[in-house]
Amino acid sequence: MALNNPAFSRNEAFSNQGAVAVAQDMSAQQLQDMYNQPATLPDREVMTIEDSIAKSAAAFGVLLVGAAIGWLTFQSVPFLWVGAGLVGFVLALVNIFKKEPSPALVLAYAGVEGVFVGGISAWYEYMFGGGIVAQAVIATLVVVGVTLALFASGKIRASARATKIFLIAMVGYLVFSLVNIGLMLFNVTDDPWGLRGAEIMGIPLGVIIGVLVVIMAAYSLVLDFDFIQQGVRNRAPRKYGWTGAFGIMVTVVWLYLEILRILAIARD
């Protein structure tokens, strides 16, 4: 894959050549120790789809608790969610670059990121009217549900060509976002959304780009599901189910925030 969730791409457990890559990094003594061990891990110690789902549910449960805290403290503790967002970013990097998954770090990220999501959701609700968060949550669940159903039925799969297009789109979106932030910081544009507020045939550019980004996030979910499936086929250790949970959580949060912004720009 040309580009994918770094939570998976940095880990040989989810690679098509995982066993070869791991073997190349091992010393002669480590290879001998592996040879002396049983041929495969016991079934109870390997990664499974069911166990990955259970770990994902636990992570999202912690995220929801954090979101409730962020929502309820939005006015009493202003900008707590901003600090939580910064801490969540650091924890995300730690989880991405850590060689082996840590359940404590994944759950810590879920809780802190939940505070950020809850706080920014309360801000959107305050600024753009009641109901916008409920609409974003429903839309996110629909996109995730449809994507999962299509993947499970085999009607949609990750492909090299689609991933290359995904790479180009992600780089383009990153450049656009950085340019837009720069224009807003230097007061080149007075629109609160920057370039996203510009209209094309009466439709805000932010809505058009937002729809494309939602499609990109849905494809990112397909890549996440595909990597988890590959990890199960590789009989990766059971602990890597936490890596799967972390990867899906990152993508779903991204998807939710993009949908929230689309709705806000459309209302604005």
Q: What is the pLDDT of residues 229-244, one digit of tens each?
A: 999 998 899 999 999 9
Question: Which one, of 219, 235, 220, lies nearest residue 49 by Cα?
Answer: 235
Question: Which one, of 267, 252, 263, lies nearest residue 210 by Cα?
Answer: 263
d(CA 32, CA 16): 23
- Angle, CA 51 vertex, CA 48 and CA 56 arms, to 5°: 125
Locate the domains of the chain by residue range. Answer: 49-266
d(CA 85, CA 37): 44
What is the dihedral angle through the alpha carbons of 145, 150, 153, 159, rounded to the nearest 10 degrees?
A: -130
What is the pTM assigned to this prediction? 0.83
User: Going by DSSP bridges, is the β-strand pair 203-204/199-200 parallel, antiparallel, or unpaired?
Assistant: antiparallel
pLDDT at 5: 63
Tens digits of per-residue pLDDT, 149-173? Answer: 999 998 888 888 998 999 999 999 9
Question: Which one, of 119, 115, 120, 106, lies nearest residue 58 by Cα?
Answer: 106
The confidence band for 129, taking pLDDT boundaries of 50, 70 and 90, is confident
